[in-house]
Chain A
Amino acid sequence: MSKLTVQDLEQIKENTQNETSFTDKTYCMICGGTGCHATGSIPIMEALEKEISERGLEEKLQVVETGCNGFCAKGPLLVVQPDGIFYQKLSLEDVPELVDSLMDGGEPPKKFLYKDPVSKKLIPQQDEIPFFANQMPRALRNKGLIDPEKIDHYIATNGYFGAAKALFDMSPDEIVEEVKTSGLRGRGGAGFPTGLKWQFCKGSPGDIKYVLCNADEGDPGAFMDRSILEADPHAVLEGMIIAAKAINAHQGYIYARTEYPLAIRRLALAIEHALEYGLLGDDILGSGFNFNVEIYQGAGAFVCGEETALMRSIEGRRGMPRPRPPFPAVKGLWDRPSVLNNVESFANVPQIIRKGGAWYASVGTDTSKGTKVFAMSGDVNNIGLVEVPMGTGLRELIYDIGGGIPRKKKFKAVQLGGPSGGCVPEQYLDTPVDYEEIAKVGAIMGSGGVIVMDERTCMVDMARFFMDFIQDESCGKCTPCREGTRRLQQTLIKICEGRGEAGDIATMEDLSWVVQESALCGLGQTGPNPVLSTLRYFRDEYEAHIIEKRCPAKRCADLLEFRVEPDECTKCGACFRACPVEAVEWKKKEVARIDIEKCIKCLTCFDKCRFDAIY
């Protein structure tokens, strides 16, 4: 393929339009995200293709493997276009029946359809499923609609037209202005205005500059960047080209987590195709502008999500942060001015250029514009990836889109912003998603992880979990983070094991303040957040652990007696059947008894008992 011009782009768009607007046949869009791969979407796709060719239906049915659909918990997923019918939890045996139903054009078999957990109604149309209906896809606009491994599909959905506009019709200043107008703020967590960041870097002296993409999505419970890379890798490349033009850089790096093999593969393929088409490399689209992108694989260090550490890591060193200033916009990779943005931020840029900053800013709140992708997981019915306008309430997110808490349990708290974030309890559920509003209730927007926790979650144990994580990932360079997080972790372990003492809470609060004020980088400065935010809202749970040696949520094994309360026990035997080590003695119509000698304190019986009869 020879290098393209803008006219060629138009031509490809026209030629491929059928495939992305689904006008010529029925399209089976099979989800090929990591989640669906794990539940077996690849063999299903192969069987479907085989079935179609054996029946000679190629003219009518086309199978396309898309990126992550977002509704991961219902996988393997299939969306049949152009009608947008949503099929869930497919299995290999279903394939012939599936093809039958696709061909006769009637109602799809009920077993494939989504059933609303609240109303118990079947909802065939993807757009009408509450999980999708309340979303506004922008960064994820192409998810499930294109084959991410085909550059033509991306072009057909107006891909690379933003880059073309930036390269031919806009000066670097105009690009920066447009991004500033959009109000786009860093989607990686800190929320720094992207346009301003570009402006600083543009103004920094130096003939060599770099555009860096942070795809080191390390926050546990966040998977939006993986999803974007798997579903629409070209959007990220296009965003980077536009940034490169704005700051006059000719080399870009994408720092990707090695834990995301599929995302890396799709990204590598996207770069290869873009190079073939002359959308990367020298003289892009004949504009005279040169830009190359390389993928750099991380090696498993959470701290490398911090910008200066990430740059150290690309330089082949231990990924440790350094003090700022100088900021990366002045002295970044190899001490050259660099712009570093997160995957989701870059994915928004092409549309901002194409449709204008004002369009992007038309939704959102005063200080937070546009949309944000959230990865919702934990104790919530509809687990998956959702993109909503800024300003959407947390309650709407969890109950309307997320479908509420499963198994009739009570909501306890939602953890926002990953390990550095905080927990938001019931009374603040009406807080809108907005950088400032979320900070006010003691959490952070972060990268957008939303982990819902029901009443069975112990908040002290949760704080300990996050402290384990932060302590383990502390790089050890600065003392407050290295030693402070360890002391916090030790105190939390002590409390969870029933060895808490009066004064522990005050000590932790003091220490947290010191770490916040004196740590070198964001990891340390926000490290004590899990402790502080749980203390803020769930101090009584800490006190119960310390003073009464009791875990109200019944999660801390050392504080449990593993006894059955005869008055509560319904003699159902659920604990008996569930116990992995046969420590429960039970006969029909008799109260169960736990043999402490045999018990391994795995808590399985606590989970199985629906009557709260074990304490």
Chain B
Amino acid sequence: MIDTPRPVHPDITDDMWKQVDEIIIARRDIPGSVITVLRECQDVVGYLPVELMDYISGGMILPRSDVFGVASFYALFSMTPKGRHMIKVCMGTACYVKGIKEVLDRIGNEYQVEEGGTTEDRRFSLEAVRCLGACGLAPVVVINQDTHGDVTANKVLDVLQHYE
């Protein structure tokens, strides 16, 4: 059981809290597992609100500073909510050489969203990510789980219309 009381948070349902508990209980006795716990909790909730990190630190019996320190260090973790669709624009060298910057700028212009940000209607989050290792297909944009290779700005904007 976890002694820390569950905080109230609009984005975290009871069912999510239950899953969070399970994740913490399964891992808390394994040294060094806080990164894994944060990742799995983020998969459940979508991001890491401060209340959730506090709860994890209570459950894992770790100082809050440790949990926050890890969460703020790694690019995978986000403390702000994400959009319904995640656009990951690969900023690897191969993609850069093949003109990914224009693609990024055009998406940003079209949907009024900055790199790392989310549109106001939470439709899209736009992220410039590290090399996805699909350099053979450069330039590459990943929308949710779908990889689109050999893209141009126009192509991506067309594809994005299908994601509501």
Q: Check B147 against A316 for contact (C-beta < 8 Å).
A: no
Interface segment out of the listed A272-280, A355-363, A597-605: A597-605
Interchain CB contact (< 8 A) of B74 among A71, A221, A300, A604: A300
Is residue B84 within 8 Å, beta carbon to beta carbon, of the partner chain? no
When C-beta atoms are compared, the residue in chain B nearest to A318 turns out to be B73
Known: A299-B39, A315-B32. A580 touches B153 (CB 8 A): yes
CB contact under 8 A between A313 and B106, given known A377-B136, A602-B153? no
Contact with B along A123-161 (1 / 0, CB 8 A): 000000000000000000000000000000000000000
Stretch at the interface among A31-39, A194-202, A323-331, A535-543: A31-39
Q: In the complex, which of the residues A259, A465, A602 contacts B133, with contact meaning CB atoms closer than 8 Å?
A: A259
Which single member of A221, A226, A475, A602 contacts B92 (CB below 8 Å)?
A: A221
Q: Which residue of A lies closest to B39 (CB)?
A: A299
Q: How far is the CB of A198 from chain B (nearest CB, A)?
A: 25
The reply to whether the CB of A453 lies closer than 8 angstroms to some CB of chain B is yes
Q: What count of chain A residues pass the 8 Å CB interface test?
A: 58
Q: Are B149 and A300 in contact (CB under 8 A)?
A: no
Given contacts A259-B133, A316-B32, A604-B102, contact A220 B94 (CB under 8 A): yes
Q: Is the CB of A316 within 8 A of B34?
A: yes
Q: Are A313 and B130 neighbours in the complex by a CB distance under 8 Å?
A: no
CB of A598 to closest CB in B, whole Å: 13
A226 to B135, CA, bound (A): 12
Q: When A and B form their complex, which 4 residue pairs have the shortest distance between CB atoms, in order from nearest?
A: A72-B136, A316-B32, A38-B147, A300-B75
Given A301-B73, A600-B109, A602-B153, A383–B138 Cβ distance below 8 Å? yes
Contact (Cβ within 8 A) B97 A260: no
Determine whether the beta carbon of B91 is less than 8 Å from that of A38: no
Docked Cα-Cα span, A332 to B57, in Å, equals 26
| 8 Å CB contact of B134 from A34, A219, A317, A580 | A34
Q: In the assembled complex, how far is the CB of residue A162 from the closest CB belonging to chain B, in whole angstroms? A: 27
How far does the Cβ of A25 sit from chain B's closest Cβ, in whole Å?
Answer: 30
B82 at interface by CB-CB < 8 Å? no
Decide yes or no whether B111 CB sits under 8 A from chain A.
no
In-complex Cβ contact of A415 among B93, B98, B131, B133 (8 A): B93
A443 and B159 CA atoms in complex are apart in Å by 39
A 434-476 to B, binary, CB cutoff 8 A, 1 in contact else 0: 0000000000000001010100010000000110010000010
> How many residues does chain B have at the interface if contact means C-beta atoms less than 8 Å apart?
45
- The answer to whether A299 touches B106, judged by C-beta atoms less than 8 angstroms apart, is no
Partner of B147, one of A37, A217, A299, A465: A37
Decide: A384 near B136, CB < 8 A? Known: A315-B31, A378-B97, A602-B106: yes
Contact partners of B17 in chain A: CB under 8 A:
none
Instruction: Look across to chain A and name the residue whose beta carbon is closest to the beta carbon of B75.
Output: A300
- B56-100: CB near A (< 8 Å → 1, else 0) gives 000000000010011001111100000000000001111011110
Inter-subunit contact B147/A457 (CB<8 Å) = no
C-alpha gap A298/B91 in the complex (Å): 19
Chain A residues with CB under 8 Å of B4's CB are: none
- In the complex, are the beta carbons of B73 and A449 less than 8 A apart? no
| Chain B residue nearest in CB terms to A218 | B130
Chain A residues lying within 8 Å of B130, measured Cβ to Cβ, are 218, 220, 259, 300, 302
In contact, B70 and A316 (Cβ under 8 angstroms): yes
Q: Judging by beta carbons under 8 Å apart, are A319 and B73 in contact?
A: yes
A210 in contact (CB, < 8 A): no
Q: Give chain B residues whose Cβ lies under 8 Å from the Cβ of A38.
A: 134, 137, 140, 146-149
Contacts of B33 in A (CB 8 A): 316
**Which residues of B have CB within 8 Å of A98?**
none
- Which residues of chain B come closer than 8 Å to A353, judged between CB atoms? none
